[in-house]
Amino acid sequence: MSAVKITLFLFAVVCFVRGLKLLSKTGSARLGNRVSAAGMLAAVLGALLSVYGRGGAPVGLVFPALVAAGLALGGLAGAVAARRVQMTAMPEMVALFNGFGGIASLLVAWAQFHHTRFFGAGALAPWDAASVYLAMLIGGVTFSGSLVAFGKLAGRLPGRPVLYPGQNVVNGAVLASLAAGLAAFILAPDHYGLFLAAAAISLAFGVAAVIPIGGADMPVTISLLNACSGLAACAAGFAVSNVLLIITGALVGASGTILTRVMCRAMNRSLANVLFSGFGSGARRPGVAGPRGEAKAMAPEDVYAILEAARSVVIIPGYGMAVAQAQHAVRELAAHLEANGTEVIYAIHPVAGRMPGHMNVLLAEANVPYEQLAEMDAINPRLPTMDAAIVIGANDVVNPAAREEQGSPIYGMPIINADQARTVFVLKRSMGTGFAGIDNPLFFKENAYMVFGDAKATVERLAAEFKDAS
């Protein structure tokens, strides 16, 4: 049975590594999910075998029956949630997934501590105590922080930063107390009250750490929480001496950390600035005036006349496309443009949307060829030669204030230079600011036109114009 268990664990590790590789490409992402799911099933079966035959004495049928019931219920819940979730709610679901990973690690740590104290040696060894404490701490912060992120993304909590005087000082003091708690727990690893108090503080700290982060920084927050869920799982693996859990937790933690770094670089901001600056609170720096000028509105019929003559068009999607669920209509419009001899490119900013890769997921759902997606660095040199740019709900990532206004909160942030195209069409319901709460001078540029209304309805009208003309 030991050989079978080792084989299952090795198979699981190979599946996880291969799954991550497949997930890096849109075309192979679905297969990557299936491969990773197969690895998780092998991991569960291997864990079941390791417990069932521990010490040469079977533990009966109750334990495997409970595991099977958990697999069935969890699989059913996951399948129903995945089928019913709207694409606009995908960031919220990812936040919940991170939270579930965190609470699972916290419960594993608590179970190991409880079992050792009451049914084992009575006290954890120093290394085991540190592992249990870190799994509890990181898991608790991840769980409560993910719930706050879910609330912000779902609109159940204010999307803007929630700030109060001395907030960073308070958070620093709480973090210091948790660090002191680690040292105290290593010295007194059988102290139940200390463990429960630290668990409660970690849950409170997760809320305090995420509540001051604005909605515009949610992609970074989600990737950071994903990294934390992996680190918590890795610590839990050390706590229960499970090599597979250590490896998989390290994979998730490393990938989430790399993604967080990529997100921060895409905004030209440090992680500390994302976590503690209260970005998006709406405050304008001294000496920075709001955009001046008069925005020009254009009807879809007039937009069609320009697009019909265009030889190159770049489509820049953002969260507004997700809200309007316009991805399929956008794909249809692109098909009409291509049939008319127009080159169509989709420009994707790394932090567009509310989670990493949000726009890629939406466009993949609409069967947009992966080859038509262009990253920011690849499309910017070409934008001055593009006949038209269509901005669909991507407000903050095309804001020229990042280049032109030194006092702007986003000054220095790399953006897609949509304003450099010959003609720019901005599809929005109103002149309102984006999720970052910052005015956009693009609306007042000489070559920019506002196309007001629901993005999906507007794109469908444009597609209908092409269809009627053909």
Active site residues: 396
Beta carbons of 347 and 391 less than 8 angstroms apart: no
Tell me how far apart the terminal alpha carbons of the chain are, to the nearest angstrom.
Answer: 68
- Indicate the SS3 state at residue 214: coil
What gap in Å lies between CA 331 and CA 191, rounded to an integer? 60
- CA dist., res. 370 & res. 343, Å (int): 15
Side chain identity at residue 458, one-letter code? T
Give the contacts of 228 (CB within 8 A, at least 6 positions apart). 98, 102, 138, 141, 142, 145, 253, 256
Dihedral in degrees, nearest 10, Cα atoms 342, 348, 151, 108: 130
Q: Residue 289: is it exposed, middle or buried by C-beta count within 10 angstroms (0-12/13-18/19+)?
A: exposed
Selection from 101, 355, 100, 358 nearest residue 218 by Cα? 355
Residue at token pair 């509310």: 354
d(Cα 425, Cα 304) in Å, to the nearest integer? 11
In angstroms, rounded to a whole number, what is the distance separating the alpha carbons of residues 37 and 16? Answer: 8
Query: How far, in Å, CA of 58 to CA of 52, rounded?
Result: 5
Going by C-alpha positions, the residue among 227, 228, 248 that lies closest to residue 237 is 248
Q: What is the rounded CA–CA span in Å between residue 308 and residue 337?
A: 7
Please tell me whether residue 297 adopts helix, strand or coil conformation: strand
Instruction: Please give the Cα distance from 315 to 311 (Å, whole number).
Output: 13
- The Cα 283–Cα 399 span in angstroms is 17
